[in-house]
Homo-oligomer: A and B are copies of this chain.
Amino acid sequence: MSSLPPNLNALENLIDELKQLPGIGVKTATRLAYFILRQPEDFAHSLGESIQVARATLHSCTQCCNFTEQPICTICSNANRSDEIVCVVEEPSDILAFERSRHFQGKYHVLHGVISPLDGMDESKLKIQRLQERLREGVIKEVILATNPTVEGDTTALYIARLIKSSGVKVTRIAHGIPVGAEIEYLDGATLGKALQNRVSL
């Protein structure tokens, strides 16, 4: 942004900060910056404050590694949920999706990523060690690997499955198949293949 006149340091600085966010380039950052400048001062104040407050108050749950304001998150400290079954997900947002479905009453474990050597993500950067510690406590009976059905998600699931199989815990993978409400006519071959392969008897 060297083309900006020298009296716009605060704007230049704001654009530089905004463009560090994922998926936001210099054009979008500029658009967002001008939008912020056009709003009442309250808007900028409360947006800036929310960013700082969220980062300062939220930290990793000591059990499941999800973000929480307490030492242990409400899901982990909920006595009505089973301690024996743990659903392993890539990101905190995946927990929200499972919770919306209301079909899971166990606990979670957030990996905070997947194994992806091209993006510089190896197994040491994921929260796998904490998962192994939780398994060593002996309460967990089943681990459901709910990483995404991508090459990286499948690789990560396989890696974890091999790592924890020796501990005697049951390891499962969420089913791949036809999504509810989809039309078979329009589904891709890979999904149909999985749906045939994993057919269940009635």
Give chain A's interface residues, CB within 8 Å of chain B: 3-11, 13-14, 16-18, 20-23, 28, 30-39, 41, 43-58, 67-70, 73-75, 91-93, 96, 99-100, 112
Contact = CB atoms under 8 A, between A and B. Distances in A.
22 contacts: A3-B99, A4-B96, A6-B74, A7-B69, A7-B73, A7-B74, A10-B50, A14-B50, A14-B54, A16-B50, A21-B32, A22-B32, A23-B28, A23-B31, A30-B93, A33-B54, A34-B67, A36-B54, A37-B58, A38-B112, A41-B55, A44-B51
For this chain, the copies found in one complex come to 2
A7 B52 contact: no
B51 A14 contact: yes
Given A36-B51, A38-B112, A44-B54, A74 B10 contact: no
Nearest to A78: B5
Contact of A5 (B11, B16, B53, B73): B73
Contacts of A5: 73-75, 99
A17 B68 contact: no
Nearest to A51: B48
Contact of A10 (B11, B16, B57, B93): B57
Q: Which 7 A-B pairs have the closest CB atoms?
A: A44-B55, A48-B48, A48-B52, A14-B54, A48-B51, A10-B54, A17-B50
A44 B67 CA distance: 15
Given A23-B31, A39-B55, 13 more contacts: A5-B73, A8-B68, A10-B53, A10-B58, A11-B58, A17-B47, A18-B47, A34-B93, A36-B55, A37-B55, A43-B55, A47-B51, A48-B51
